[in-house]
Amino acid sequence: MPVSISDSALQVLNTVFGYPAFRGDQQAIIEHVAAGGDALVLMPTGGGKSLCYQIPALLREGTAVVVSPLIALMQDQVQALLQLGVEAAFLNSSLDAQAQREVEQRYARGELKLLYVAPERLLTERCLELIGARMPALFAIDEAHCVSQWGHDFRPEYRQLTILHERFPAVPRIALTATADAPTRNEIVERLNLGDASRFVASFDRPNIRYRVVEKDNPRRQLKAFLDGHRGESGIVYCLSRRKVDETAAGLVEDGVHALAYHAGMDATERAANQQRFLREDGVVMVATIAFGMGIDKPDVRFVAHLDLPKSMEGYYQETGRAGRDGLPAEAWMTYGLADVVTLAQFIAQSESGEERKRVERAKLDALLGFAETTACRRQRLLAYFGETPAGPCGNCDNCLDPPQNWDATVVVQKALSCVYRTGQRYGVGHLTAVLRGEDDERVRALGHDRQSTFGIGAELDARQWRSVFRQLVAAGLLTTDEEGYGTLRLTEASRAALRGSEPIWLRRPPGKAERRAAGRDGGAARTRQSLDIAPHEAALWDALRDARARLAREQGVPAYVIFHDATLLAMLRERPQSLRELGAISGVGERKLARYGEAFLGVLTAF
Ligand code: ADP
Ligand code: ZN
């Protein structure tokens, strides 16, 4: 009886990759492509896109040609495949002429199951002829959103990839992306001529990522406390400016954190070296501008921290999405304050873009502020932005875990808005607070604001609480900041209704001094435990497993996760296999890795 595609696909998954079962749409996609169909795969980061073309590549005759935009990404994938015993190679500018010829010859001899190619290379006549000399198994177009000029990863060569379909109409194509927004998706279909391809759209939820947003107070201390909960883990800290990257990295190093910096202003060699260390070493914290991250396939990034607001929800989703690709618990943490809003609003106002574009950017910022200020489930809010409607609150974000208190702030808001109005809409939060609290302040007196009706009407809140109120008012559009970036606050259309008090206004209740002190005692921001929750009695074995992995990785000059992912080590820790057969049953231990590394890990496991 002939073996069905579905049986063979499962067998490859079990024996080559060592995984027990498919995830989500993987099986349907693999069967469709293995049978010769075209597919468009929309799946979040960490969803398991690679298998969707790697398994069909192993099931079909010929070599699968994978278009990939980044050298680092190709190298990673090829290394991982070689570890699994799959013949794979890449063609890109990192190879010298000799090495390139060798890869070409291996392709021509039919020795490769997968060939990764940079798009500009693939489009050369030389390469197209090479590929045409044998019938490829399939074309996989990875990071397909690079075809869209709205995304920030636009690669003009991607647009010419339709040539693949024209020259090789019989070869199935599979395009994959983790981009969640609809305009980009539509552009992919149009530009890559995939109108007839089957679409597989997964939920873009990343359930293993815990979202948290905290009010910015003393960012350096807050970051330090956050990192204390992630000791020894790999993570990314995003900052808006190069200078802040340098300062933050230096500060962390001073505090004993293994931190490195990355931004476009650095020397290229140093930048590449830092990236390499982040990929290869365990527990590096990368402090970076958003120039860092595209094509970082590192599966065990345990946290992404934002010290500044991202520009949009799309940016936030993409940047935080770099955490937890391996599916293990990860954290997305952001600290933000009114000054961030002022800075971003100023950027937009002063940019060269036309009015239309500015309006779009302002709307994107507002969506992000809504997310930052929401008292409801953050995941629901995030997914709703991308058009999904989750069934209920997630239970894995700050607002779900520790629900904030809402508070009828109608009267307080009226006091704040009248104070802005009475003082002429020319002052920032510091001054307004001094007036509201009736402080004995020289500037207040000099301006005669101590004689105004709003002087001293808001002594019931302390300065931090007022700051929180003002920030929420800006986020809600009841106040607006000046475009010059001085931080002065002005009324808006919406403020007038609020001043009349026609509708009650609910705000997130800002914690008072006593509550803040209590939160500070139990660590406050550091309330998280280590992401992977290794119990004290397991720690020694865990470290020994990681050491064994690090040694094997060093010997071969590959990142540790290429040997085994954390998820696989964790399964070893929990299940304690005591024989090669038991070890082979661990998820992520395929035949080849069992043969190569089985003894080494069994040695560790049986010693405990
Ligand atoms: P993506 O490219 O979608 O971001 P990857 O292909 O890198 O995701 O897969 C993410 C992680 O999930 C990898 O560690 C991969 O080995 C693992 N993975 C993928 N499919 C499965 C599966 N069916 N079972 C277990 N792990 C899987
Ligand atoms: Zn939630």
Residue 530 lies in a domain: no
Q: Residue for token digits 């980044």?
A: 70
E-strand stretches of 35-91: 39-42, 64-67, 88-91
Same domain (yes/no): 214, 362: yes
Residue 446 lies in a domain: yes
Evaluate: CB of 43 within 6 angstroms of ligand 1: yes
Find the 395 Cα to ligand 2 centroid distance in Å: 5
| Helix (H/G/I), strand (E/B), else coil: 528 | coil
Return the amino acid letter for 356. E
- Burial (CB < 10 A; 0-12, 13-18, 19+), residue 325, is buried
Residue 520 lies in a domain: no
Same domain (yes/no): 235, 378: yes
pLDDT in tens, 560-587: 999 999 999 999 999 999 999 999 999 9
Same domain (yes/no): 155, 17: yes
pLDDT in tens, 477-496: 899 988 777 889 999 998 98
Task: Report the CATH number at residue 426.
Answer: 1.10.10.10
Q: How confident is the model at residue 72 (pLDDT cuts 50, 70, 90)?
A: confident
Give dist(CA 263, CA 265) in Å, integer: 5
Residue 426 lies in a domain: yes
Residue 129 lies in a domain: yes
- Tokens representing residue 190 in the block: 């149009």
Same domain (yes/no): 253, 382: yes
- 1: CB partners within 8 A, 6+ apart: none
Evaluate: CB of 322 within 6 angstroms of ligand 1: no
Q: Is 150's pLDDT higher than 80?
A: no
Evaluate: CB of 325 within 6 angstroms of ligand 1: yes
Find the 20 Cα to ligand 1 centroid distance in Å: 12
CA 300 and chain centroid, separation: 12
Same domain (yes/no): 287, 244: yes
Find the 49 Cα to ligand 1 centroid distance in Å: 7
Atom of ligand 1 at shortest range from CA of 26: 23
CA dist list (Å): 477 to 472, 490, 512, 596: 9, 10, 24, 60
Ligand nearest to C-alpha 377: 2
Evaluate: CB of 47 within 6 angstroms of ligand 1: yes
Atom of ligand 1 at shortest range from CA of 22: 23
Last residue of a domain, one of 401, 423, 457: 401
Find the 307 Cα to ligand 2 centroid distance in Å: 21
pLDDT in tens, 383-413: 999 889 999 999 999 999 999 988 899 999 9
- 551: CB partners within 8 A, 6+ apart: none
- Lowest-pLDDT range of 92-101, 152-161, 293-302, 507-516: 507-516
Same domain (yes/no): 395, 420: no
Amino acid 485: pLDDT? 77
* Helix/strand number for the chain, H first, E second: 28, 17
Task: Report the CATH number at residue 555.
Answer: 1.10.150.80
What number is the average pLDDT over the span 229-244?
94
Q: Are 63 and 110 in contact (CB under 8 A)?
A: yes
Atom 14 (ligand 1): residue with closest C-alpha?
326
Last residue of a domain, one of 401, 419, 452: 401
Return the amino acid letter for 226. F
Last residue of a domain, one of 174, 201, 228: 201
Task: Report the CATH number at residue 396.
Answer: 3.40.50.300
| Helix (H/G/I), strand (E/B), else coil: 84 | coil
| Of the candidates 427, 400, 591, the residue with the CA atom closest to the CA atom of residue 15 | 591
Q: Is 521's pLDDT higher than 70?
A: no
* pTM of the shown model: 0.88
Same domain (yes/no): 254, 143: no
Q: How confident is the model at residue 153 (pLDDT cuts 50, 70, 90)?
A: confident
Evaluate: CB of 319 within 6 angstroms of ligand 1: no
Q: Is 295's pLDDT higher than 90?
A: no
| Helix (H/G/I), strand (E/B), else coil: 45 | coil
Same domain (yes/no): 187, 219: no
Amino acid 310: pLDDT? 92
* Alpha helices in 148-193, H assignment, sequence order: 162-167, 182-191
What number is the average pLDDT over the span 138-165?
88
Amino acid 519: pLDDT? 63
Evaluate: CB of 204 within 6 angstroms of ligand 1: no
The β-bridge partners of 213 are: 334
Amino acid 520: pLDDT? 58
Q: Is 179's pLDDT higher than 90?
A: no
Per the structure, the count of domains in the chain is 4
What number is the average pLDDT over the span 35-47?
94
Q: Is 182's pLDDT higher than 90?
A: no
Q: Using H for helix, E for strand and C for coil, what is the string for 445-471? A: HHCCHHHCCCCCCCCCCCHHHHHHHHH
Atom of ligand 1 at shortest range from CA of 142: 2
Find the 392 Cα to ligand 2 centroid distance in Å: 8
Evaluate: CB of 324 within 6 angstroms of ligand 1: no
**Kind and range of the H or E run holding 138:** strand 138-141
Same domain (yes/no): 110, 190: yes
Q: Is 263's pLDDT higher than 90?
A: yes
Same domain (yes/no): 195, 230: no
Amino acid 518: pLDDT? 65
Q: How confident is the model at residue 534 (pLDDT cuts 50, 70, 90)?
A: confident
Atom of ligand 1 at shortest range from CA of 565: 14
Evaluate: CB of 52 within 6 angstroms of ligand 1: no
Amino acid 119: pLDDT? 95
Evaluate: CB of 49 within 6 angstroms of ligand 1: yes
Q: Is 593's pLDDT higher than 80?
A: yes
Amino acid 316: pLDDT? 95
- Burial (CB < 10 A; 0-12, 13-18, 19+), residue 477, is middle
Mutation to probe ligand 1, out of 17, 30, 42, 50 (largest number of atoms < 8 A from CB): 50
Share of the chain above pLDDT 90, in %: 71
Q: Are 165 and 136 in contact (CB under 8 A)?
A: no
Residue 602 lies in a domain: yes
Q: How confident is the model at residue 524 (pLDDT cuts 50, 70, 90)?
A: very low
Q: How confident is the model at residue 152 (pLDDT cuts 50, 70, 90)?
A: low
Same domain (yes/no): 178, 277: no
Mean pLDDT of the chain: 91
Atom of ligand 1 at shortest range from CA of 49: 3
Mutation to probe ligand 1, out of 12, 16, 23, 29 (largest number of atoms < 8 A from CB): 23
What number is the average pLDDT over the span 451-461?
93
Q: How confident is the model at residue 185 (pLDDT cuts 50, 70, 90)?
A: confident
Give dist(CA 60, CA 67) in Å, integer: 18
| Of the candidates 443, 608, 480, the residue with the CA atom closest to the CA atom of residue 537 | 608
Cβ atoms < 10 Å from Cβ of 585: 16
Atom 10 (ligand 1): residue with closest C-alpha?
46
Q: Are 470 and 479 in contact (CB under 8 A)?
A: yes
Give dist(CA 210, CA 199) in Å, integer: 29
**Angle at the Cα of 390 (from 389 to 393), degrees rounded to 5?**
130
Which comes out higher in pLDDT, residue 520 or 60?
A: 60
Atom 13 (ligand 1): residue with closest C-alpha?
326
The parent domain of residue 85 ranges over 5-201
- 565: CB partners within 8 A, 6+ apart: 299, 300, 326, 588
Q: How confident is the model at residue 3 (pLDDT cuts 50, 70, 90)?
A: confident
Q: Is 448's pLDDT higher than 60?
A: yes
pLDDT in tens, 20-34: 999 999 999 999 999
- Burial (CB < 10 A; 0-12, 13-18, 19+), residue 182, is exposed
Atom 5 (ligand 1): residue with closest C-alpha?
48
Atom of ligand 1 at shortest range from CA of 21: 23
Residue 149 lies in a domain: yes
Residue 525 lies in a domain: no
pLDDT in tens, 460-475: 999 989 999 999 999 8
Same domain (yes/no): 194, 280: no
Cβ atoms < 10 Å from Cβ of 187: 18
Amino acid 24: pLDDT? 93
Evaluate: CB of 48 within 6 angstroms of ligand 1: yes
Ligand nearest to C-alpha 212: 2
Q: Is 439's pLDDT higher than 60?
A: yes
Q: Are 263 and 237 in contact (CB under 8 A)?
A: no
Atom of ligand 1 at shortest range from CA of 297: 7
